[in-house]
Chain A
Amino acid sequence: MPADAESVDTKSVDTESARAASTGTVDRGSGHRLEARELTLAYEARTVAEKLSLRIPDGRVTVIVGPNACGKSTLLRALGRLLKPARGAVLLDGEELARVPTKQIARRIGLLPQSPSAPEGIAVADLVARGRQPHQSWWQQWSAEDEAAVAEAMERTSTAELAERGVDELSGGQRQRVWIAMALAQGTDILLLDEPTTFLDIAHQVEVLDLVRRLNVERGRTVVAVLHDLNQAARYADHLVAMREGRIVAQGPPAEVVTAELVREVFGLESVVVPDPVTGTPLVVPGAPWTATTDA
C-alpha cells in the first residue's frame, strides 16, 4: 500500500522537532527544512519579487512584515506551493517543492490562507476532521489516529466545546481558532499563516497569537506568519523578516532588526522605537499626529 509507505517515510524525515516535542524540550533553530532559493515570483506579467532567498529556521516563529503589496503574502503562497515560482525554487527537506507530490507536502506543511471559506452549514468537528485528509485514503477514512489528532487539535485550541456547533454561527475569533485547529489536526511540523489576525478585535488577536506561540513552544512547530502589525510581529517573532518591493530588507531577532531607520526604510514612516513596557521587545511609536500648529 503506497499510502502507508509514504507516511512511514515522512515520519523518518521528521527530525528534531518531533523528538523535542516528545521529550518536552525544544531544540530550536538547528536547521532549515524550508528554504526559498533565488525565487522570482510573478502573477501573469507582473513580477512581484526577484532573486529572493530565505531560510526558515526550524522550530521557531518567523514573521514576515512589510507595507501593503510588498510581496509578503506572495512569498508565503510560494512557500506553501500555492504559487509556482517563475524562476528559482522552494526547497522542503532539500527537495524542490514543485517535484514533491502535493499530498506529501500536505503531511509536512499546513497552511491557513487569509480568508478561508467553509462549506455551508458544516459543523466544527467535521471541519477540523477534514484537516486529516492528507493522511487518509478511500479505505481509511477515519482511523483511531485521525480521531486522536483531531481531539488533540480541538483541545489545544479550546474548540472542543464548540464541536457540534455550525461554523457559520461562530464569532470571528472562535472561527479563526477552528481554522487553526484544522491546520493543527493536519499534524504538520511546519505551519504557514497568512495574516491570521486580520478582521479580529485586539483581544482575539492576542488570543490567536498566544495560541500560535504555545504551539511553537510546546510542540516545536515551525511557524511562518505574515502579520500586519509591526509591534505584534516584534512581540511574537523569533525571527523577523522585513520586506519592501519584493526584496528582503532586513532579517533577524526583532531586538536587532526593528529600529527607527528600518521603519523609515521599509514603511517610509518617521517613528520612535522604545522598549515595550511589558515584554521589552522593540515598540514602534509613530511620529506626532498632524495638528494645525505643526502644519503651519
Chain B
Amino acid sequence: MTAPTAPTVSTVSLRGYTVVRARGVSFLLHRRSAWAALGLLVALAATAVASLCLGESTVAPGEVLKVVFGQPSPHELVVGEFRLPRVVVGLLVGTALGLAGALIQTVARNPLASPDVVGVSWGATAAVVGLLAYGVVGSTGQVPYAAVAGGLVAGLLVYLLAWRRGLHAQRFVLIGIGISVALSSLTSVFLTKGDGFQAQAAKVWMTGSLNGSGYDQAGWLAWVLLASVPVALWAARAQRSISFDDATAVGLGLRLNRIRLGMALLGVVLASCAAGAAGPVDFVALMAPQIAVRLARSAQIPLLCSALTGALVVVLADLLARRLLAPTELPVGVVTGLVGAPYLMWLLIRSRRGGS
C-alpha cells in the first residue's frame, strides 16, 4: 500500500469562471454568460430605440431619447403615447417568456419543452377564445385575467396528472403535449360554435399581438417579473446541481421535488401572464433559452441571458411585424413563428454537427 501523500496542488483553475472573494463572501462568475448578458442588453437597447424611431413617420434617435427621458419634444404623442407603451409591453412579455422557457426547460431537462408545449399557452388560448366566442367577456380589458386563469389551470392539470411520487421530466412533457392537443381541439370547437364576429376577434388574439398594447398590460406584468427576481436568483443557484441525474442531485443535498415544483410553477405563472398581456406569442419561450445557452456556452441554461434574449426577440419581431408589410401591421406571433422555427432548426442541426 502506498504511503499517504500530502496534496501538492491547492488551487483549481475553473475554466471560464472568475472568482470574487472577500470577507467570507465568495461568488463564481461565469465570464461568458456575463459578456453575453452585456451584449444582449446593448442589442436590446438599440432595437428598442430603433423601434421607437421607425414607423409611419421617422423620428431621429436623439428626439426619441428626449421623449424616453421625459424632456419636452414635438414627438411626444407619436413616440411617447403610441410607440413607447408597445415597446415596453413587448419587452416585458419577452422577458417573461424567456425566463419561463428557461425554467421549464431546466425542470424538464429537455430543450423541446416550453410553456407552448406543456399546455400553458393552449390553456390560456382556450380560456380566452371560449369566453370571447360566447360573449362572457365583452371587453378586452378582461382578456388578461381569463388568459392567466386558463394558463394556470392547464399548467396545474398537467402537474397533477404528471405527479407520481415526484415530478418526472418525461411524463411532464408527454402529458403536457397531450393536454395541449386536447385544449387546441377545444379551442376549435369554441371558434366554430361561438358567435361569428367575436370569433374573429378571438382569432386575432390567438396569433399573439402587441397591437394596441398599453400601460394597463405593462403594469401588472412588471410587478409579476419583479416578484419573481428572488425566486429566479434562488433557482439559478439550484441549477448547478439540478442539471445532474436525480440521484446525484439528491446526493448533493438538493430538495429535488420542492425545487422542481417551485421552478415549474414560476415558469407557468410567467408564461400565463405573458399570454394574458399579448396572447400566445409562439416559439419565444422555446427558442430564447436555446439561443442563450449557445451564446453563453454554459453547462446549464443561463436565466438572465435567456430573459434578455426573450425580450430582444419579441421587441425585434414586433418591429418587423410593424414595418414588413407597412402600413399593414402583422401580429408579432406571426413573425416569431416565421423567424423562430427555421432558426431553431438551424441551431439543432449545427449543434448536432459540432458534437460529433
Contacts and interface: CB of A to CB of B under 8 A. Distances in A.
Contact of B12 (A80, A121, A151, A183): A151
B250 interface: yes
Q: Give the contact-size bracket for chain B.
A: 35 or more
Contacts of A117: 244-245, 248
A111 B11 contact: no
Interface stretch (A126-134, A228-236, A286-294): A126-134
B351 to A, nearest CB: 9
Interface residues of A, number: 57
Given A111-B251, A116-B248, A122-B299, A163 B12 contact: yes
A133 B241 contact: yes
Given A102-B254, A106-B253, A119-B299, A151 B240 contact: no
Contacts of A80: 247, 250-251
Contacts of B251: 80, 82, 106, 109-113, 183, 186
Contact of B299 (A120, A138, A148): A120
Contact of A155 (B8, B27, B248, B297): B8
A133 B1 contact: no
B297 A121 contact: yes
B328 interface: no
A121 B297 CA distance: 9
Nearest to B4: A218
B244 A116 contact: yes
A117 B242 CA distance: 11
Interface stretch (A139-147, A242-250, A251-259): A139-147
A164 interface: yes
Contact of A150 (B12, B21, B299): B12
Contacts of A138: 233-234, 237
A129 B14 contact: yes
Contacts, number: 132
A286 B329 CA distance: 80
A152 interface: yes
B26 A140 contact: yes
A80 B247 CA distance: 9
Given A138-B234, A138-B237, A155 B7 contact: yes
Contacts of A111: 247-248, 251
A151 B10 contact: yes
A170 interface: no
B77 interface: no
A126 B299 contact: yes
A24 interface: yes
B250 A154 contact: no
A140 to B, nearest CB: 6
Interface of B: 1-2, 4, 7-17, 19, 21, 24-28, 233-234, 237, 240-241, 243-245, 247-248, 250-255, 297, 299-300
17 contacts: A107-B253, A111-B248, A119-B243, A123-B14, A125-B13, A129-B14, A130-B252, A131-B252, A134-B252, A139-B25, A141-B27, A141-B237, A142-B19, A147-B11, A151-B10, A156-B7, A163-B15
